[in-house]
Chain A
Amino acid sequence: MPVLDVEELHVRIATRNGPLHAVRGVSFSIEHGETFALVGESGCGKSMTALSLLDLMPQNGKREAKRLQLDGVEIGGLPEPELRQIRGDRAAMIFQEPMTALNPVLTIGEQLTEGPRLHHPDLSKDAAKRRAIELLERCGISQPELRLAQYPHELSGGMRQRAMIAMALMGSPRLLIADEPTTALDVTVQAQILDLLRDLQREFDLAILFITHDLTLVKNFATRVGVMYAGELVETGLAHEVISAPRHPYTSRLVACAPALDTPCGAQLGWLPGIPPRLIGDLSGCQFRFRCEEARTDCDGSIPWHVSGSRGYRCVLESNLQQNRKTLSVSQTITTSASEALLELRSVTIAYQSMGAFLTQGPSFVALKNASLVLPRGSTLGLVGESGSGKSTLARAVLGLEKPVSGDILIGGKAVGSLDPASRARAVQPVFQDPNASLNPRHTVLDIVRAPLDVRGEESKIERDSRARAMLERCGLAYYHFNAYPSQLSGGQRQRVAIARALVSGPSLVVCDEPTSALDVSIQSQILNLLVDLQREFNLTYLFISHNLAVVRQLADRVAVMLNGEIVEQGPADDVLSHPQHAYTARLLGSAALAKV
């Protein structure tokens, strides 16, 4: 008997524009000790499916299901008080961001013991505390007695996520719902958390519903997978089979979009244009047909669900999709001639001065120690390391936004600090991580991209306008976007605007600080492809910061690894990523590959 059995699950959310069908007829089941992953882009209904299982949708949401059984007991029509008995006890959830999922004003101990004491009023405070200590220890937290009295902000991100997992196990859950539990974590911590989940699954015989957008994780961590698109399951099957030989066009495009660790440098990634549809109004037929290369005239009719063995998919096409698939065009690796160095860092040290009492200086904090780098013109340096390792400080220093305490930063042989603002803008420009924060919400797209030229003030207004327009078009935006505000654009379009703004000054070096980590995998591939194209066209040099080694592998021909403010290893990408010299690099690579079990 499966732990969770769901048939024909529907979730409707009332909005001002009519009902939004967030989940449409989803059926799946999870056995003991099995991990079922739900994947898909944002807005495809993964999280809503998970939340609806325990009736935790938003206020205006409504759930219907033909069958919704937990451990053989129908929970579909249960009234709220009885559902409360199940939540946190027989089914528990862990969330993406442990900082917001834990209450900052309660101690870890209070939060861990709160649930069990609600569910079992006869459980003594001491017994609950003993169990909390036991579980914290089991989840790999040192000094568990001490942690009970600590507040969430006193723990690191990884520790908070471990505490969240311990909290989920405080009941006696049969089902663990994990909603992107490792997305907010650094890659080494991510691997540890997944290992922990895998161990706990065996020990407690847990069924895990695992929600993620990361296909590499699915392949290595999940037993079975369900691919969601537009609120529907479009393909299910054993995880490794689905990922290595997808049958549905959507799965196939998703897989092609995700760079793998073995993608060669400079290769074009797969292309999945557009975004998932809004699920309001008429939703008949295959919703993917608007983005599908294989779309046919009968795609708007009823779509059959093909089953063969453990696999199933919903498409008008009869299997053998693989044969129609165009092999990905692997274009030539950018050959870096031994040209002159464009960027050079000579033992650069940067320290931040904190403010002390009134008008005095507090202690200083060294964010970058003795960093040295050489980056030839036309090449790409991938800078990897965990958050807090000094990557962003280095980026800001190269942009001339931080003054080094000692050492030199040279671009084209001139010290960045000595350049006047206009020539500095011509030398180096940034592209930031989050396009929501990097575009001024009160300016139109055209104003944003023209601003660097306005500041320079060398050309007439008409010339500036036409250069900004040309750059926007080159970056894939249409004329009807020019007068839009950033909020009216999608995430991918916003990042295109940010790239256009960086390039309109005509810089030779572009500093990309995690430019795709806030984006869905389909959009990420579009942006990465755009960056590769632009590099060829304008002979750009990239300093590319990322925590995603697969992305770095695809773009970079040189790699530098940072740890605690120091560059611990650097060299050609192939060497560093296939024969790491420093223990930390090896650990980073091992975590990314997720130590395949």
Chain B
Amino acid sequence: MFGAVILGFYIVIALAAPWITPHDPYAQSLVRRLRPPVWAPNGSWTYVLGTDPFGRDYLSRLIYATRTALTVAAASALAAGLIGSTLGLAAGYFRGRVDQVISLIISTRLAFPSLLIALAVLQVAGSGLWIVVVVLGLTLWDRFAVVLRTAVMQISRQDYVLAARSFGSSHMRIMFKEIAPNVFGHFLVVFSYEAGQAVLAATALSFLGLGIQAPQPTWGLMMAEGRNWLLTNPWLIANAGIALMFLVLAMNLVGDGLRDILTPNEKV
């Protein structure tokens, strides 16, 4: 519940970014570099969270970066979900050899150091938001596959799947009409965790300078730019970090909440 409220707040902020930002997030000015936030000495309400080393309004950049973060989170988790659920559904439903091959693919994927692979790919393939999404999609699908494979195995043993086969349903119809609705809850739970993981990974990549490029505002880049002023202006890193932390926390809480709602309880 708490998680959903925070997540909802982030989504509203991201959607309303152009109307609520006090300044242009890209407008640089050497005159107003490194203004402190409002609560610090010399802070002012004009630049509530101060300005960055290029004199851009920190709050406006933080808000626009929320947009980027949510886009990356949703798109990467969706891409990962598509790959992982397809594999999991096929492995759990067909079993036998299909399952053995897919399980091997999953084990192989789990043996990869994903962040290193992502760095290497970005180094070679260049950078940009959609490339980051594709790379994260390709590295975060394993949990979808593992969870859905087990869930689908359980569901496809149910008699209603047998009944559907005996009145002549095709494999496709059984997978999408009979099984998919019963494992959608599992998908949602994994989706919310993986969205959080995607935000963290995307931030790490931008912090390292790969991934989404300046001047597009991302929390990773903002932290990287603030690195040199860590001692004098710690809020440059802290504020972006806090925004990141609460978003991931909210996503994990929503995941926990969904799991509780979707797991049948045995109360009298």
**Which of B42-50, B62-70, B160-168 contacts the other chain?**
B160-168
Q: Is the CB of B173 within 8 A of A434?
A: no
* B104: nearest chain-A partner, CB-CB: A358
Q: Which residues of A contact B182 (CB under 8 A)?
A: 440-442
* A357: nearest chain-B partner, CB-CB: B100
Given A440-B181, A440-B182, decide whether A432 and B162 contact each other with a Cβ distance below 8 A: yes
Q: Is the CB of B163 within 8 A of A438?
A: yes
Fill in one digit per residue for B178-198: 1 if any A CB lies within 8 Å of its CB, else 0: 100110000000000000000
Our pick among B163, B173, B177 for the contact of A501 (Cβ within 8 Å) is B163
Our pick among A20, A425, A439, A442 for the contact of B167 (Cβ within 8 Å) is A425
Name the interface residues of B224-239: CB closer than 8 Å to any CB of A. Answer: none
Min CB–CB distance B45 → chain A (angstroms): 50
Our pick among B97, B100, B159, B268 for the contact of A438 (Cβ within 8 Å) is B159
Min CB–CB distance B192 → chain A (angstroms): 20
Q: Which residues of A contact B164 (CB under 8 A)?
A: 451
Most buried by A among B96, B169, B268: B268
Q: Is the CB of A358 within 8 A of B268?
A: no
Q: Does A15 contact B (CB under 8 A)?
A: yes
Our pick among A430, A433, A439 for the contact of B166 (Cβ within 8 Å) is A430
* A430: nearest chain-B partner, CB-CB: B166
Name the interface residues of A433-453: CB closer than 8 Å to any CB of B. Answer: 433-434, 437-443, 448, 451-452
- In the complex, how many residues of chain A place their beta carbon closer than 8 angstroms to a beta carbon of chain B? 39
Fill in one digit per residue for A37-64: 1 if any B CB lies within 8 Å of its CB, else 0: 0000000000000000000001010000
Name the interface residues of A410-429: CB closer than 8 Å to any CB of B. Answer: 420-422, 424-425, 428-429
Q: Does A283 contact B (CB under 8 A)?
A: no
- How many Å lie between the Cα of A420 and that of B268 in the bound state? 47
- How many Å lie between the Cα of A452 and that of B163 in the bound state? 9
Q: Which residues of A contact B263 (CB under 8 A)?
A: none
Q: Is the CB of B167 within 8 A of A451?
A: yes
Fill in one digit per residue for A492-511: 1 if any B CB lies within 8 Å of its CB, else 0: 00000010011001000000
Name the interface residues of B125-173: CB closer than 8 Å to any CB of A. Answer: 158-160, 162-170, 173
Q: Which residues of B contact A443 (CB under 8 A)?
A: 181
Q: Does A359 contact B (CB under 8 A)?
A: yes
Q: Does A307 contact B (CB under 8 A)?
A: no
Q: Does A13 contact B (CB under 8 A)?
A: yes
- How many Å lie between the Cα of A206 and that of B159 in the bound state? 43
- How many Å lie between the Cα of A396 and that of B165 in the bound state? 11
- How many Å lie between the Cα of A428 and that of B165 in the bound state? 12
Our pick among B104, B158, B169, B181 for the contact of A451 (Cβ within 8 Å) is B169
- How many Å lie between the Cα of A502 and that of B159 in the bound state? 13
Q: Does A181 contact B (CB under 8 A)?
A: no
Q: Which residues of A contact B100 (CB under 8 A)?
A: 355, 358-359
Fill in one digit per residue for A451-474: 1 if any B CB lies within 8 Å of its CB, else 0: 110011000000000000000000
Q: Which residues of A contact B104 (CB under 8 A)?
A: 358
Q: Is the CB of A401 within 8 A of B165?
A: yes
Q: Is the CB of B166 within 8 A of A440?
A: no
Name the interface residues of A192-247: CB closer than 8 Å to any CB of B. Answer: none
Min CB–CB distance A428 → chain B (angstroms): 7
Q: Which residues of A contact B165 (CB under 8 A)?
A: 401
Q: Is the CB of A432 within 8 A of B268?
A: no
Q: Is the CB of A400 within 8 A of B160?
A: no
Min CB–CB distance A459 → chain B (angstroms): 15
Q: Does A178 contact B (CB under 8 A)?
A: no
Q: Which residues of A contact B159 (CB under 8 A)?
A: 430, 432-434, 437-438
Q: Is the CB of B158 within 8 A of A438?
A: yes
Our pick among B96, B160, B168 for the contact of A440 (Cβ within 8 Å) is B160
Q: Is the CB of A437 within 8 A of B158?
A: yes
* A447: nearest chain-B partner, CB-CB: B177
Q: Which residues of A contact B173 (CB under 8 A)?
A: 455
Q: Is the interface of A mostly helix, strand, loop or mixed?
A: mixed
- How many Å lie between the Cα of A15 and that of B267 in the bound state? 9
Q: Does A399 contact B (CB under 8 A)?
A: yes
Q: Which residues of B contact A399 (CB under 8 A)?
A: 162, 166
Given A434-B159, A442-B181, decide whether A15 and B268 contact each other with a Cβ distance below 8 A: yes
Our pick among A13, A355, A455 for the contact of B96 (Cβ within 8 Å) is A355
Given A13-B268, A60-B268, A440-B182, decide whether A456 and B163 contact each other with a Cβ distance below 8 A: no
Min CB–CB distance B143 → chain A (angstroms): 23
Min CB–CB distance B179 → chain A (angstroms): 9
- How many Å lie between the Cα of A399 and that of B161 in the bound state? 13
Q: Is the CB of B160 within 8 A of A455?
A: no
Min CB–CB distance B33 → chain A (angstroms): 58
Q: Is the CB of B160 within 8 A of A425?
A: no
Our pick among B101, B166, B169 for the contact of A400 (Cβ within 8 Å) is B166
Given A359-B97, A438-B158, A442-B182, decide whether A58 and B268 contact each other with a Cβ distance below 8 A: yes
Q: Which residues of A contact B167 (CB under 8 A)?
A: 421, 425, 429, 451-452, 455-456, 501, 505
Q: Which residues of B contact A429 (CB under 8 A)?
A: 166-167
- How many Å lie between the Cα of A438 and that of B178 in the bound state? 11
Q: Is the CB of B163 within 8 A of A401?
A: no
Q: Which residues of B contact A15 (CB under 8 A)?
A: 268
- How many Å lie between the Cα of A396 and that of B159 in the bound state? 11
Given A60-B268, A438-B158, decide whether A432 and B168 contact each other with a Cβ distance below 8 A: no
- How many Å lie between the Cα of A456 and that of B178 in the bound state? 16
* B173: nearest chain-A partner, CB-CB: A455
Min CB–CB distance A43 → chain B (angstroms): 12
Q: Is the CB of B160 within 8 A of A428?
A: no
Q: Which residues of B contact A452 (CB under 8 A)?
A: 167-168
- How many Å lie between the Cα of A13 and that of B268 in the bound state? 9
Most buried by A among B160, B167, B181: B167
Q: Is the CB of B160 within 8 A of A439?
A: yes
Q: Which residues of B contact A505 (CB under 8 A)?
A: 167
Name the interface residues of B87-102: CB closer than 8 Å to any CB of A. Answer: 96-97, 100-101
Fill in one digit per residue for B81-120: 1 if any A CB lies within 8 Å of its CB, else 0: 0000000000000001100110010000000000000000
Q: Which residues of B contact A438 (CB under 8 A)?
A: 158-160, 162-163
- How many Å lie between the Cα of A443 and that of B158 in the bound state? 14
Min CB–CB distance B155 → chain A (angstroms): 9
Min CB–CB distance A545 → chain B (angstroms): 13
Q: Is the CB of A425 within 8 A of B163?
A: no
Min CB–CB distance A373 → chain B (angstroms): 19
Additional pairs, 4, CB under 8 Å, beyond known A421-B167, A433-B159, A437-B159? A401-B165, A429-B166, A432-B162, A451-B169
| Sampled A-B contacts (18; CB under 8 Å) | A13-B268, A359-B100, A401-B166, A421-B168, A425-B168, A429-B166, A429-B167, A430-B162, A432-B162, A437-B159, A440-B158, A443-B181, A452-B168, A455-B169, A456-B167, A456-B168, A501-B163, A501-B167
Residues of B within 8 A of A (CB): 96-97, 100-101, 104, 158-160, 162-170, 173, 177-178, 181-182, 268
